[in-house]
A and B are shown apart, each in its own frame.
Chain A
């Protein structure tokens, strides 16, 4: 719960301005989202409002069971949907943009909901610090647009086990086709927004090679009601595909988890690839089809076929939706970017995350396409809302204008008393979408939500259990080869084709060489 004092407000306002600057840079320099299928801008604005009204209560419940820094530890070990774009950037930013909208309308003042703002940003800061523990930064932007959260023990398993490919061979073709299909499906399942895709890295793989990790989330039955009955032959809800490139420098990995490379991303430069899955119940990455190159190609071809069919099925379903259904779905995708925190804590309730609050529903008649487009542009691009202006001597980071996208909390709240500290914790809402009836696809099988929550509450990954949690790479530097370090590394090496049981003393030169690896691997590292 919030401790509103001068110190917490200083920290909160610092983080607010960081998010404000970074989000402006992202919005101006990256790309504009648009769609002829989905009314995107209207749904984005409504999602911000939904976040403002619901997120503080949702996060307080989660934080009480699994503290934010522990959630950051979880997200640092594997690929989870609470990642760079969702948990780290989107969740606090969407919440703050909802606050901006209400301030602009004169329906709240900057001191209102101060407890909520402090709590949401405190949660987000603690999550980010733990998530980025290995690179030591708060955001990708602070790290120079780079994302390196995985530990050496995981990267060594990837390097040893990924299968070598050359353009035109079966696995290379299967992998590039699957990645295209996954990207396509993820955009569609997430109503045109990019939050079902995630990229991280680059990691230095030596010899002018870099690895990036590409993740795809919510691929079949799970939280989104519109995925009931879709891609049900897919055994995993999430897939992770680490890819090693030659002669390619990924010089930018931004807080939207998208990349820039020089020369640009080209599949012909892919030299090694693998596939894994992870979710709130997996103890580390689970290898998927990694026994040998042929099995991996078989698996990728099969998944591609499933997702190709699923894309058509889902597209036909969405094409029949009303405008309000499209808006509700998009708004819920955006406002639920933090939902997997609830899965990790075992607090997930469908109506909490997948309904639009009645306090939000009242604004719907304003949300025609033009207002949505222009109000969003005004708020995140032009910074033209009256209260976004700052004094005329200031020059904001990136824009050099005397305007800021997101505004802080006045310190006067410490002495004033005419403000309301919270929006409250009562939820009442609805959705125009069909009610969810399907199960949740997890690494423990297809289960109902009560089972999913119960399993999550009782689960801690072995590498985070007890003292292991605090054995970071500064510790490994001085304790490699010790019994405790070997135990930690062996936990990550479980299921590895080439490193099972090898322990903590390995360096790159000690990893199995091409031709020595199991599974007909011809990886040319």
Chain B
């Protein structure tokens, strides 16, 4: 019956992002077909017969159709990639992003970021790239080597929860100074740069963080006035 068909909302277009557009369209089409097939009044099916309109098997089928087309999903949590590797893209490490070749006082600048807390002195130390639960577990077992500057591609506060206090500094490749990691860095008084763009760094590279820089103003992320704290490579491990 016509009253049960999906009506494209006036003024509405499809979703901007591809995967929501694809999934949501599939759900909408399926639901509209099922509703029409019932021949019943909307009010009698919308909740009373909701599993007929959309079931877990339908969700499974949508996911399968997309995967069967060769599509693989981006992951955000490492557990997703590890538990369902067949569904996710295994990306190259996304560290790069700072390409300007600059030098200051004979040092090569390898990145910029947003300083969380203004400190009286810069911080120098060897970097450790941390992105997995296993690495954190190792640090929990063996301790964080003194002076370590963590390079973390996660602005959340939980991956490195039990070890953050042990770092001499943090380079975070995402988020803002308001992210959970930024909040914790401020609370723990750990010198930290958020939202960093850096050249590729390797474990053990000696870097200097300009944590003497002024933190971004409260409207900086709206005005774009960010990225003023510099990162220099002092000594390359290789």
Complex partner residue of A36 from B47, B159, B218, CB under 8 angstroms? B159
A176 x B53 contact (CB < 8 A): no
A369 x B179 contact (CB < 8 A): no
B63 x A374 contact (CB < 8 A): no
B80 x A34 contact (CB < 8 A): no
Is A82 an interface position by the 8 A CB rule?
no
B47 x A423 contact (CB < 8 A): yes
Number of interface residues of B (CB under 8 A): 86
A252 x B79 contact (CB < 8 A): no
B76 x A369 contact (CB < 8 A): yes
**Stretch among B6-14, B95-103, B202-210, B226-234 lining the A interface:** B6-14
Determine the distance from Cα of A262 to Cα of B216 in the docked complex, in whole angstroms.
11
Is A397 an interface position by the 8 A CB rule?
no
Contacts of A169 in B (CB 8 A): none
Complex partner residue of B184 from A33, A184, A423, CB under 8 angstroms? A184
B222 x A34 contact (CB < 8 A): no
Is A386 an interface position by the 8 A CB rule?
yes
Residue of A nearest to B16 (CB): A384
Complex partner residue of B11 from A176, A391, A417, CB under 8 angstroms? A391
B12 x A387 contact (CB < 8 A): yes
Shortest beta-carbon distance from B35 to chain A in Å: 8
Residues of B88-123 whose CB lies within 8 A of A: 88, 117
Is B37 an interface position by the 8 A CB rule?
no
Query: Interface readout for A156-193 with B: 1 if CB under 8 Å, 0 if not?
Result: 00000000000000000000100110011001100110
Given contacts A258-B178, A266-B117, contact A183 B187 (CB under 8 A): yes
Residue of B nearest to A422 (CB): B47
Determine the distance from Cα of A353 to Cα of B205 in the docked complex, in whole angstroms.
49
Residue of B nearest to A43 (CB): B77
A187 x B157 contact (CB < 8 A): yes
B76 x A32 contact (CB < 8 A): no
Determine the distance from Cα of A359 to Cα of B31 in the docked complex, in whole angstroms.
15
Count of CB-CB pairs between chains A and B under 8 Å: 256
Residue of B nearest to A394 (CB): B11
Residue of A nearest to B27 (CB): A105
Is B38 an interface position by the 8 A CB rule?
no
Shortest beta-carbon distance from B31 to chain A in Å: 4
Determine the distance from Cα of A386 to Cα of B11 in the docked complex, in whole angstroms.
8
A106 x B218 contact (CB < 8 A): no
Residue of A nearest to B29 (CB): A106
**Stretch among A311-319, A336-344, A500-508 lining the B interface:** A311-319
Residue of B nearest to A403 (CB): B11
A180 x B28 contact (CB < 8 A): no
Residues of A15-58 whose CB lies within 8 A of B: 29-41
Shortest beta-carbon distance from B133 to chain A in Å: 5
Is A3 an interface position by the 8 A CB rule?
no
Shortest beta-carbon distance from A76 to chain B in Å: 26
Determine the distance from Cα of A186 to Cα of B83 in the docked complex, in whole angstroms.
26
Query: Interface readout for A359-386 with B: 1 if CB under 8 Å, 0 if not?
Result: 1011111101111111101100010111
Is B215 an interface position by the 8 A CB rule?
yes
Residue of A nearest to B61 (CB): A365
Residue of B nearest to A421 (CB): B43
Is A396 an interface position by the 8 A CB rule?
no
Determine the distance from Cα of A311 to Cα of B164 in the docked complex, in whole angstroms.
12
Is B192 an interface position by the 8 A CB rule?
no
Given contacts A187-B158, A264-B215, A377-B17, contact A107 B53 (CB under 8 A): yes
Is A470 an interface position by the 8 A CB rule?
no
**Stretch among A320-328, A456-464, A480-488, A512-520 lining the B interface:** A320-328
Complex partner residue of A176 from B44, B75, B189, CB under 8 angstroms? B189
Is A292 an interface position by the 8 A CB rule?
no
Determine the distance from Cα of A493 to Cα of B180 in the docked complex, in whole angstroms.
36
Given contacts A365-B56, A369-B77, contact A34 B175 (CB under 8 A): yes
Complex partner residue of A39 from B77, B133, B161, CB under 8 angstroms? B77
Given contacts A180-B188, A388-B12, contact A192 B42 (CB under 8 A): no
Is A402 an interface position by the 8 A CB rule?
yes
Q: Given contacts A37-B78, A418-B43, could you give 17 more A-B pairs where the C-beta distance is less than 8 Å?
A: A34-B154, A38-B158, A107-B50, A107-B54, A179-B187, A188-B157, A260-B218, A315-B162, A362-B54, A362-B56, A365-B63, A369-B88, A382-B17, A385-B15, A386-B9, A402-B11, A418-B42
Can you pick out 9 interface pairs between chain A and chain B where the beta carbons lie within 8 Å of each other?
A32-B179, A33-B179, A34-B156, A37-B156, A39-B79, A107-B54, A315-B161, A392-B11, A418-B41
Give the 7 A-B CB pairs with smallest separation, nearest first: A386-B12, A35-B156, A180-B187, A36-B154, A365-B59, A384-B16, A389-B11
